[in-house]
Amino acid sequence: MGEIKLTAKLGSTNVQVSAREIPKKEIDKKADANMGNGQYDLYLCGDKKCYHAQVPQGTLSMAKLFSGFSDRKRKEKILFEDESGKTYVLVAMDDGTLIPQARAKEAEDMEKEFGM
């Protein structure tokens, strides 16, 4: 599974990420596993392939991207393009929060207890 560079335009800001191919059926499992790892995790899908990108916390363009992605009033999709012009839709993204291991375990236990 290869790595590609994907670019999106957010207003006057270009956002570029390097992403690795991931099977579409793995997105939910991978998203859950990466929650709270201190990096922005982006999941993008095109016609036939999906990709996962990780970007370290503290990147202003990622904060702007997350804000736009999480805006429930947003009607248009956030699109990324590869070098050949193929389009990929941002289908999932987390906020890059770092949850210490003890808190992550606590949250996991609560999810199990309350069936979340």
Residues contacting 19, CB < 8 A, separation 6+: 3, 4, 5, 6, 42, 44, 51, 52, 53
Q: How far is CA 58 from the centre of its chain?
A: 15
More confident residue, 72 or 111: 111
Question: Is the Cβ–Cβ distance between 46 and 58 less than 8 Å?
Answer: no
pLDDT at site 59: 73
Q: Is the pLDDT of residue 47 over 80?
A: yes
> Taking the domains of the chain in order of start, what are their residue ranges?
3-114
- Tens digit of pLDDT for each residue in 51-83? 999 988 777 788 888 887 777 546 678 899 999
DSSP state of 82: -
Reported as a single tens digit per residue, the pLDDT across 1-25 is 578 999 998 888 888 999 999 999 9
Residue among 34, 46, 58 nearest 90 (CA): 46
> Model pTM?
0.76
